[in-house]
Amino acid sequence: MNPKTIETIFSAIGTKKIAVIGDVMIDSYLWGKAERISPEAPVPIVMVEHRESRPGGAANVAINIKSMGAEPLILALVGDDEKGHEFSKIISRMELNTNGIIFHPSRKTTVKHRVIASNQHLLRVDEEITTPVSGQVEKDFIDHCLGILAEYKPNAIIFEDYDKGNITPAIIDAIVDFANKKSIPSLVDPKKRNFSSYRNVTLFKPNFKELVEGAKIDFLPKNDPEKIFKAAARLRQQLQAKYLMVTLSEYGILITDGNSYYHMPAQKREIADVSGAGDTVISVAALLLCSESSMETIATISNIAGGLVCEKPGVVPIDKHQLMRETQAYFSTLFKSDTV
């Protein structure tokens, strides 16, 4: 792939509109220094220097889409509580559309508190309820989503499932049916609870652990692409997905259409924090998919993007220009090695 082709791909990405449906949350950070151990217990004492709240979960996917120059829309339920309204204010300040957010008194806004010292992630404390929405709340959310999607006309729809209860089988069925009738690609970043409910989607993206557990495999070597392909192809067939893409952390990404597969090895990087890497991967994959990129291109650029955000502490979005430079450098190196 030459630099001009890569520039064309990245230019096309900026014209896309992506709807993100799923569990949103606040990522709360407490940054400081840890220079001594507590006399009360064998734990570090963190001297606080900075506090920060960022939108997380499905909202982080939306932020990654926006950082790539495209237009995201979040569809989600939050609590009608202090944190829910704080979440709305945060995404509004980031110039993200808030029309898709519903406040409901039956929900509690998820907050993940992270303590970080000297770029080391020391502790996480979560506040949440994870009971799935049901009854009238579920029905109202389905109607809310379908109404906005019909008006918004997205180029792709992402399900960002964190098992916090915002996504149910009924919600999945309604949205996937809408997407398929409108020929809109749908992508899934799954979790355990709804794993088998995502049928007839365009791209299903489990990580290695989720593949093993979801496919009910006793043992699967993580460094054997051929065996992973066979397991992924079976799961793809069960779910009737067009593509199944497995993230393999230090072993890269594997994608298959059921007939063949492509394995993109991980690049060597200084890993600071893997938080949010999956959000980046699904965001970039969605933009490439609705830009009609090949499955090899989707896996390659998504893998590079996931690696880049792992170099920074905390949950951070991808930098579009850095990603384009790294993609050009990767294909340039690949081309040179192929011609030697």
3-state SS class at 289: helix
Q: Which CA distances in Å does 64 have to 94, 189, 204, 306, 334? A: 12, 14, 19, 11, 27
Residue 166, token pair as written in the block: 């915002």
The residues near 255 (Cβ < 8 Å, ≥ 6 apart) are 243, 244, 245, 246, 261, 262, 264, 295, 296, 298, 299
Query: Cα(234)–Cα(244) distance, rounded to whole angstroms?
Result: 10
3-state SS class at 22: strand
Question: Catalytic annotation on 279?
Answer: yes
Choose among 60, 8, 52: nearest CA to 283.
Answer: 60
3-state SS class at 212: helix
How many other CB atoms are there within 10 angstroms of residue 339's CB atom? 6
Q: Which member of 161, 279, 319, 338 is catalytic?
A: 279
Name residue, tokens 């951070």.
316
CA angle at 328 for the pair 273 and 333, rounded to the nearest 5°: 95
Amino acid at 96: L
Residue 206, token pair as written in the block: 């489990």
Distance of CA 249 to the CA centre of its chain: 14
Choose among 245, 293, 202, 243: nearest CA to 12.
Answer: 293
Choose among 160, 161, 199, 195: nearest CA to 179.
Answer: 199
Tell me which H or E stretch contains 48: strand 44-57
> Which residues, in sequence order, are bridge partners of residue 51?
30
Active site residues per annotation: 279
